């Protein structure tokens, strides 16, 4: 932990192929986002770590991300948890050289990787958050999905106020497991989605479901599909955004279809058979190909 102008901070090294400003485009895609705040080139977020709420600002400096702690330094162990979270959030451990080499030879991706080079898959490091977000987003548009998430977070998350702004944490599975379907339906979730979220919360609370367990599975997709409410799209979304599977491919994703329609100058959306054919060259990097195509829509 270092100190500059009376503010405590630490720095996290970033890869050569990292563009924070490109990542901010994705982070700033919804005005309803309430789990962090983007202001100019700074991201502010609060995490709950070992029963402590830790607020930090994040800004880019040469070769690193600088994290400042305006409310005081977290403990040494929580500082390391913040570091791990940010590295996970921005996928800083992945070497993209092979992806870029592949993409430069692909007629669909070559222009995108030139335009957005340094963009990383912006993850959802918390498994419960990733699963809930995947369930909430099923068969609705992105705007309403953000509305539901905002209500969920502000009803059951924890928060603190800094400089007259309130910062929220995502609700814990332990807290959600104590709720009823009626409680969640009050947020305008369907009864079925409420049941799914409660089931996930219970499984995580009793230890039958965890990120650590999934990461050890040889077939993560199959394990995710065994969770009630998680289908192929949701499973691949969670694999991509939380479990860092580079081969995750949400084939049925509407955003992917729309992006391909635009990039291919088609009058209709491509079929899943056509998408599978397009994606043959992407093998091993389907997640990044999808994320760069999503970026083209912003």
Q: Is residue 109 part of a domain?
A: no
Q: Is residue 260 part of a domain?
A: yes
pLDDT digits (tens, 9 = 90+) for 261-288: 999 999 999 999 999 999 999 999 999 9
Does residue 17 have an active-site annotation? no
State the catalytic residue, choosing from 106, 183, 219, 253: 253
Q: Is residue 121 part of a domain?
A: no
CATH of the domain at 71: 3.30.310.20
Asked which of 68, 93, 118 is the last residue of a domain, the reply is: 93
Q: Is residue 118 part of a domain?
A: no
| Claim to verify: residue 197 and residue 281 sit in the same structural domain | yes
258, 297 in Cβ contact below 8 A?
A: yes
Average pLDDT, the chain: 96
Residue 4 has pLDDT above 60, yes or no: no
Q: Is residue 110 part of a domain?
A: no
Query: How many angstroms separate the CA atoms of 11 and 62, rounded?
Result: 10
| Claim to verify: residue 253 and residue 131 sit in the same structural domain | yes
Q: Is residue 218 part of a domain?
A: yes
| Claim to verify: residue 162 and residue 24 sit in the same structural domain | no
Q: Answer yes or no: pTM beyond 0.85.
A: yes
Query: How many angstroms separate the CA atoms of 137 and 154, rounded?
Result: 18
Which one, of 251, 231, 42, lies nearest residue 137 by Cα? 231
The structure tokens 């930090």 sit at 56
| Claim to verify: residue 77 and residue 143 sit in the same structural domain | no
| Claim to verify: residue 242 and residue 286 sit in the same structural domain | yes
Per-residue pLDDT band at 176 (split at 50, 70, 90): very high
Q: Is residue 117 part of a domain?
A: no
Residue 2 has pLDDT above 80, yes or no: no
Asked which of 44, 70, 93 is the last residue of a domain, the reply is: 93
Q: How many domains would you assign to the chain?
A: 2
| Claim to verify: residue 148 and residue 36 sit in the same structural domain | no
50, 77 in Cβ contact below 8 A?
A: yes
Handedness of CA 86, 92, 93, 99 (dihedral sign): positive
CB atoms within 10 A of CB 269: 16
Asked which of 73, 93, 113 is the last residue of a domain, the reply is: 93
| Claim to verify: residue 141 and residue 261 sit in the same structural domain | yes
CB atoms within 10 A of CB 136: 21
Q: Is residue 169 part of a domain?
A: yes
| Claim to verify: residue 284 and residue 145 sit in the same structural domain | yes
Domain that holds residue 16: 5-93
Helix 232-241 and helix 286-295, axial crossing angle in degrees, nearest 10: 90
CATH of the domain at 244: 1.10.340.30
pLDDT of residue 7: 64
Which one, of 115, 109, 29, 64, lies nearest residue 287 by Cα? 109
pLDDT digits (tens, 9 = 90+) for 9-27: 999 999 999 999 999 999 9
243, 211 in Cβ contact below 8 A?
A: yes
| Claim to verify: residue 72 and residue 207 sit in the same structural domain | no
| Claim to verify: residue 77 and residue 145 sit in the same structural domain | no
| Claim to verify: residue 137 and residue 257 sit in the same structural domain | yes
| Claim to verify: residue 131 and residue 255 sit in the same structural domain | yes
Q: What is the DSSP string of 248-288?
A: ---TT-HHHHHHHHHHTT-SSPPPHHHHHHHGGGGTT-HHH
Phi first, then psi: give them for residue 242, nearest 5 degrees: -120, -35
pLDDT digits (tens, 9 = 90+) for 99-141: 999 999 999 999 999 999 999 999 999 999 999 999 999 999 9
Per-residue pLDDT band at 8 (split at 50, 70, 90): confident
pLDDT digits (tens, 9 = 90+) for 34-86: 999 999 999 999 999 999 999 999 999 999 999 999 999 999 999 999 999 99
């Amino acid at each position: 932990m270092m100190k500059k102008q009376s503010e405590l901070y630490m720095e996290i090294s970033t890869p050569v192929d990292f563009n924070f400003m490109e990542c901010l485009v994705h982070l700033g895609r919804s005005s309803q986002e309430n789990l962090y705040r983007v202001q100019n080139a700074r991201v502010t977020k609060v995490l709950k770590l070992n029963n402590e709420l830790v607020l930090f600002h994040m800004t880019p400096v040469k070769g690193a991300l600088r994290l400042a702690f305006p409310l005081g330094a977290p403990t040494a162990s929580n500082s390391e948890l913040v570091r791990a979270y940010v590295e996970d959030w921005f996928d800083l451990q992945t070497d993209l050289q092979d992806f870029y080499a592949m993409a430069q030879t692909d007629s669909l991706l070559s222009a995108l990787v030139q335009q957005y080079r340094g963009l990383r898959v912006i993850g959802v490091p918390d498994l419960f958050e990733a699963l809930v977000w995947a369930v909430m987003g099923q068969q609705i548009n992105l705007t309403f999905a953000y509305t539901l998430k905002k209500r969920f977070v502000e009803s059951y998350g924890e928060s603190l106020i800094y400089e007259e702004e309130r910062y929220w944490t995502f609700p814990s599975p332990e807290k959600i497991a104590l709720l009823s379907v009626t409680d969640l339906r009050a947020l305008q979730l369907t009864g079925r989605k409420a049941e799914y979220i409660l089931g996930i919360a219970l499984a995580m609370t009793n230890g039958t479901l965890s990120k650590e367990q999934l990461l050890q599975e040889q077939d993560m997709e199959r394990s995710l599909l065994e969770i009630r409410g998680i289908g192929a799209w949701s499973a691949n979304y969670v694999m991509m955004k939380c479990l860092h599977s580079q081969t995750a491919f949400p084939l049925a994703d509407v955003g992917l279809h729309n992006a391909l329609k635009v990039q291919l100058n088609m009058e209709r959306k491509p079929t899943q058979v056509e998408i599978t054919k397009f994606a043959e060259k992407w093998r091993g990097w389907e997640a990044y190909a999808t994320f760069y195509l999503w970026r083209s829509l912003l």
